[in-house]
C-alpha cells in the first residue's frame, strides 16, 4: 500500500479556518493511520511479505512559516512511519 496524499493551506495559523486545520489533520494523519490499521490486518492474513509506504514531505524536518499545520502533520507521518512502528 502506498499513501501519497496530502493537503495544506498556506496561511498564518490565526488566519486559517479551523475546518481547514481539521481537514489537513484528517487527510495527512488520521487517514493514513486508519488505512494502515485495516490494511495490515489483511496483509498479515496473506502470510507473505507486504509493505506500507508513506510519502511525507521535506517539511516534516523544517517548520515553514504560514504552513505550520501541514509541516506538523507531515512530521507526525514521518515519525509514525519510522522504524519503531514495524
- Dihedral (C-alpha) 18, 22, 28, 30: value to the nearest 10 degrees? 160
pLDDT digits (tens, 9 = 90+) for 7-66: 999 999 999 999 999 999 999 999 999 999 999 999 999 999 999 999 999 999 998 999
Burial 21-53 (b: 16+ CB within 10 A, else e): beebbeebbeebeeebeeeeeebeeeeeeeebe
Q: Residue 2: beta bridge partners?
A: 53
Residue range 78-82: average pLDDT? 91
**pTM listed for this prediction:** 0.88
Q: Where are the domains of the chain?
A: 22-85
Amino acid at each position: 500500500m502506498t499513501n501519497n496524499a496530502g493537503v495544506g493551506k498556506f496561511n498564518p495559523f490565526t488566519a486559517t479556518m479551523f475546518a481547514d486545520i481539521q481537514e489537513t489533520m484528517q487527510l495527512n494523519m488520521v487517514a493514513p493511520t486508519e488505512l494502515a490499521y485495516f490494511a495490515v490486518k489483511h496483509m498479515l492474513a496473506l502470510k507473505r511479505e507486504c509493505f506500507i509506504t508513506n510519502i511525507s514531505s521535506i517539511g516534516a524536518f523544517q517548520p515553514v512559516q504560514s504552513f505550520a499545520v501541514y509541516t506538523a502533520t507531515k512530521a507526525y507521518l514521518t515519525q509514525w512511519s519510522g522504524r519503531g512502528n514495524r
